[in-house]
């Protein structure tokens, strides 16, 4: 009898899992599953304690779901990716594994790890799959067979390719005809953890599928109109599920089209589909430009920008004490929940980089240390977009005004009041500049004045970018 091993990583689900489905195709094969925690590697990558707790919950839910299919999950903990290579080799030897199945991860360190595994498994066939994307890297290229560097032509080519051939969406495996798997002990990680809110983030695969279904039925059609307003529950909140693989992007695509059939043609649901395409774009870019995994900007000259030292201003930004209410409310939402509304991610990133002139990598790292949906490709892509250092980024002279952004996207201050209770008595008309109101009324509010003057900061930032660009030419 052949023995198949499925190595789970960021794909913690039974449904539409290419590696799992392939391992289970032979009805006579014994199928085993493996998950390896790598706490030192996670620490180096600044994984958020909430994301660690989220992964623990999903791994334990997956263990139970696999047991119901008579597939045992083997759990190991290794310091880092290098140590995990030896564990995979040992497990394969102990269980006489004939074939190893896994889904590709596109980050540089993960690709190096997988290459090392293939080198040491001389007696085991390794099979990898493009599972975390709808279209695999290389499927959407320019006429010169190069990776697109601008989103809109990429999106148009992506849609054309998708319409030519819709990807397969595979079923969860049937129960194996082997002896029943006894329920194993609950899995724990030796990594700092912070509780996540299961009311905000689905705690298992069934809950994630239910949330996807509800959003596509009730929210996707209104997404374009509601997505920019943080006081409205107008987004899917499925990013954490996609980040750790509790849902596949193909499940999102098929459920969206089932509920919003015109999404592929620019109709209802197309703007949420756009978000899935942005996700693909950043993953494909990371595959072709691995320097994005190495703290490097996509645009070389931007590495010459002279950033301010990350002193008290960085701490004030992290803690939500900048004196700009929309920025502070967003950062407090992040710190309290491990998640931030997408419009707010753009606002706070612009503020850190272009008002405080602090290196975007400081913000990228802090986000990863807090986000339950932390994903290197998406986080790096978003920060480089905001900092004007990435491919298809906002031009460096586009600088959000944090006050007008707040007035535009939280006009009444409903979101601000939710996270800044110290501004509860400030009237609606003054909520975005509470210090002005406080001075006129001669009242004290427990809220700081702005730590930077936006108009002055804009001038300084433009000068810093223009000097870097001139020096780089």
Q: What are the residue numbers of the active site?
A: 275, 278, 307, 342, 360, 383
Q: Torsion-angle region of residue 104: left (phi > 0), alpha (psi -120 to 50) or beta?
A: beta
Buried b (16+ CB within 10 A) or exposed e, 133-150: bbbbbebbbeeeeebbbe
For the CA atoms of 375, 380, 383, 387, the dihedral, rounded to the nearest 10 degrees, stands at 180
Q: Tell me which residue of 23, 1, 13 sits closest to 100, measured CA to CA.
A: 23
Whether the CB-CB separation of 351 and 331 falls below 8 Å is answered with: no
What is the secondary structure of 170-209 as a DSSP string? PPPPPPPSSPPPPPPPPP--SS------TTTS-SSHHHHH
Distance (Å, rounded) from C-alpha 416 to C-alpha 327? Answer: 9
Residue 271: its H or E element: helix 270-288
Q: What is the CA radius of gyration of the chain?
A: 24
Residue 348: its H or E element: helix 342-350
- State the DSSP code for 28: T
Q: Torsion-angle region of residue 394: left (phi > 0), alpha (psi -120 to 50) or beta?
A: beta
Q: Tell me which residue of 197, 193, 133 sits closest to 167, measured CA to CA.
A: 133
| Residue 103 backbone dihedrals phi, psi, to 5 degrees | -100, 135
Helical spans, DSSP H, in 3-145: 18-23, 39-44, 49-68, 81-94, 108-120
Whether the CB-CB separation of 416 and 329 falls below 8 Å is answered with: yes
Q: In the chain, what is the straight-line distance between the N-terminal and C-terminal CA atoms, in Å?
A: 64
Structure tokens at 321: 């004490």
Q: Tell me which residue of 452, 384, 449, 447 sits closest to 419, measured CA to CA.
A: 447
Q: Which residues are annotated as a binding site for FAD?
A: 223, 235-239, 272, 275-282
Q: Which residues contact 132 (CB under 8 A, 6 or more apart)?
A: 10, 11, 103, 104, 105, 106, 245, 248, 249, 283
Distance (Å, rounded) from C-alpha 122 to C-alpha 83? Answer: 18
Buried b (16+ CB within 10 A) or exposed e, 68-87: ebbbbbbbebbebbeebbeb
Whether the CB-CB separation of 10 and 243 falls below 8 Å is answered with: yes
């Amino acid at each position: 009898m052949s023995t198949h091993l499925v190595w789970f990583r960021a794909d913690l689900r039974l449904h539409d899992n290419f590696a799992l489905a392939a391992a289970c195709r032979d009805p006579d094969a014994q199928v085993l599953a493996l998950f390896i925690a790598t706490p030192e590697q996670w620490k180096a990558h600044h994984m958020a304690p909430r994301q660690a707790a989220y992964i623990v919950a999903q791994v334990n839910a997956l263990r139970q779901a696999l047991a119901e299919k008579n597939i045992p999950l083997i759990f190991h903990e290794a310091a880092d990716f290098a140590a995990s290579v030896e564990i995979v080799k040992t497990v394969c030897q102990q269980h006489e594994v004939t074939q190893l199945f896994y889904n590709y991860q596109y980050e540089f360190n993960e690709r190096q790890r997988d290459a090392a595994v293939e080198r040491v498994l001389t007696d085991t066939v390794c099979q990898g799959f493009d599972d975390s994307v709808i279209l695999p890297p290389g499927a959407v290229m320019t006429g010169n067979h190069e990776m697109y560097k601008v989103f809109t032509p990429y999106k148009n080519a992506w849609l054309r390719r998708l319409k030519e051939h819709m990807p397969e969406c595979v079923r969860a495996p049937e129960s194996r005809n082997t002896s029943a798997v006894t329920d194993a002990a609950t899995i724990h990680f030796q990594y700092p953890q912070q509780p996540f809110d299961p009311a905000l983030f689905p705690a298992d695969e069934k809950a994630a599928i239910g949330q996807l279904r509800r959003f596509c039925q009730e929210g996707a059609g209104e997404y374009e109109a509601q997505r920019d307003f943080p006081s409205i529950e107008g987004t899917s909140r499925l990013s954490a599920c996609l980040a750790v693989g509790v849902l596949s992007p193909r499940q999102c695509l098929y459920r969206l089209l089932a509920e919003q059939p015109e999404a592929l043609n620019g109709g209802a649901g197309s703007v949420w589909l756009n978000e899935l395409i942005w996700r693909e774009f950043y993953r494909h870019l990371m595959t072709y430009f691995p320097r994005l995994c190495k703290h490097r900007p996509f645009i070389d000259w931007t590495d010459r920008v002279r950033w301010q030292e990350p002193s008290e201003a960085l701490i004030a930004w992290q803690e939500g004490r900048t004196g700009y209410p929309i920025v502070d409310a967003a950062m407090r939402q992040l710190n309290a929940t491990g998640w931030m509304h997408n419009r707010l991610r753009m606002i706070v990133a612009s503020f850190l980089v272009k008002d405080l002139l602090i290196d975007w990598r400081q913000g990228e790292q802090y986000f990863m240390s807090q986000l339950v949906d932390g994903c290197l490709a998406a986080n790096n892509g978003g920060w480089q977009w905001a900092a004007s250092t990435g491919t298809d980024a906002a031009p460096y002279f586009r600088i959000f005004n944090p006050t007008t952004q707040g007035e535009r996207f939280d006009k009444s201050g409903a979101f601000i009041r939710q996270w800044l209770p110290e501004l509860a008595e400030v009237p609606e008309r003054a909520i975005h500049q509470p210090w002005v109101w406080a001075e006129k009324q001669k009242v004290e509010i427990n809220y700081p004045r702005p730590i930077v003057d936006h108009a002055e900061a804009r001038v300084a930032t433009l000068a810093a970018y223009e000097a870097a660009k001139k020096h780089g030419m």
